[in-house]
Amino acid sequence: MERTPDPDDGRFTIAALTDAGYEVVVAAAPTHVRAVRQLVLDPLTAADQRALARMAAKLRTRPVDLT
């Protein structure tokens, strides 16, 4: 990961994932997915999963204003 000052607003920092960092994310992904399935999704009933999907859809389509 690299951090650089935002050229437009010095109060902010821009973080960017390097190629090496991306490789770490790719390598960790299978373990992460297994853990999420085991700890979060598997305990949910079918009704729970549908409710979670509805909530995720609302969050995904919600406009975000970070200013």
Which tokens go with 20? 């090496």
Tokens representing residue 63 in the block = 């406009």
* Tens-digit pLDDT profile for residues 2-11: 999 999 998 9
In a domain, 26, yes or no: yes
Determine, yes or no, domain membership for 37: yes
**DSSP-derived 3-state class of residue 65:** coil
From the list 25, 26, 42, the residue with the least C-alpha distance to 34 is: 42
Asked whether residue 54 is domain-assigned, the answer is: yes
* pLDDT for the residue numbered 7: 92
Q: Which of 49, 14, 64 is nearest to 1 (CA)?
A: 14
Q: Structure pTM?
A: 0.60
Tens digit of each residue's pLDDT (9 = 90 or more) over 9-36: 989 999 999 999 999 999 999 999 999 9
Domain contains 30 = yes
Structural domains in the chain (count) = 1
**Residues contacting residue 25 through CB under 8 Å, at least 6 positions apart:** 17
The residue segments making up the domain with residue 19 are 2-61
Residue type at 17 in one-letter notation = L
Please write the tens of the pLDDT for every residue from 28-58: 999 999 999 999 999 999 999 999 999 999 9
Residue 67 lies in a domain: no
Report whether pLDDT(67) > 70: no
